[in-house]
Amino acid sequence: MDFFVNFDPGTCWVYKDTINQNSYDTIELMSKKTFCVTPDGDIPNNDGFQLYYKPGHSRDYTVFIEPSKDNSCYVNICEGQFYAMGQNSGEFAFDNNMWTQNIFSDSISVGNKIYHNELHIKSFIGDYSDLQFVKNVGLVSYANYPIIKPGLHGKYGVYMLVATFKK
């Protein structure tokens, strides 16, 4: 919850491209919805979350949080607004108080700031790679590898968080 869900629609994160120094991108949390998750074994229905993000220069993406029993959950980050599995998405699990893949680190440095409790997701998810999420901050850095299609104006860049604000 602290990495992905504890934000409200209208929250914006501003990023500076470390390769193209005059390039910035803003990602806005457009919507946050709950959905009912089918019971898992002996637990009752739990609310999952669907968080839809809209960047200015990259493709939009959605984070799906699906709780399970024993304080476990599944996180799926998908390109676009719909739940999908495959090359344009990445699924990660938190089980028995541990991330099932080696994606957690104690601290990282992004720009001039040190963050603690970081998830580093190195998979390609649509246009994104090397996503770094921090508890109670959200996405603090990412690489953008746009797949150029008509109507998209993205370009390669490595972005780091410089500010957040609420509309």
Whether residue 49 lies inside any domain: the answer is yes
pLDDT tens-digit map of 105-161 = 666 667 778 887 777 777 666 667 778 888 889 888 888 766 544 455 556 788 899
Instruction: Extract the tokens encoding 22.
Output: 């005059």
Q: Is the pLDDT of residue 89 over 70?
A: no
Q: What is the pTM of this model?
A: 0.78
Give the chain's domain count: 1
Residue 1 domain-assigned (yes or no):
no
pLDDT over threshold 80, residue 29? yes
Confidence of residue 5 (pLDDT cuts 50, 70, 90): confident
Q: Is residue 47 part of a domain?
A: yes
Nearest to 30 by CA among 2, 59, 60, 3: 60
In a domain? residue 4: no
Tell me the residue range of the domain where 146 lies. Answer: 11-166
Report the chain's terminal Cα–Cα distance, integer Å: 22
Q: Above 80 in pLDDT, residue 14?
A: yes
* 123 belongs to a structural domain: yes
Q: Comparing 87 with 19, which gets the higher pLDDT?
A: 19
- 70 pairs with which residues across the strands? none
- pLDDT given for residue 150 in this prediction: 46
Task: Give 124-161 as a 3 state SS string.
Answer: CECCEEEEEEECCCEEEEEEECCCCCCCCCCCCEEEEE
Listed in order, strand segments (DSSP E) in 44-151 are: 46-55, 61-67, 73-79, 89-95, 98-99, 104-110, 113-121, 128-134, 138-144
Query: What are the tokens at 128?
Result: 């994104």
- Whether 124 is covered by a domain: the verdict is yes
Nearest to 126 by CA among 73, 56, 60: 60
In a domain, 6, yes or no: no
Is residue 118, in this structure, part of any structural domain at all? yes
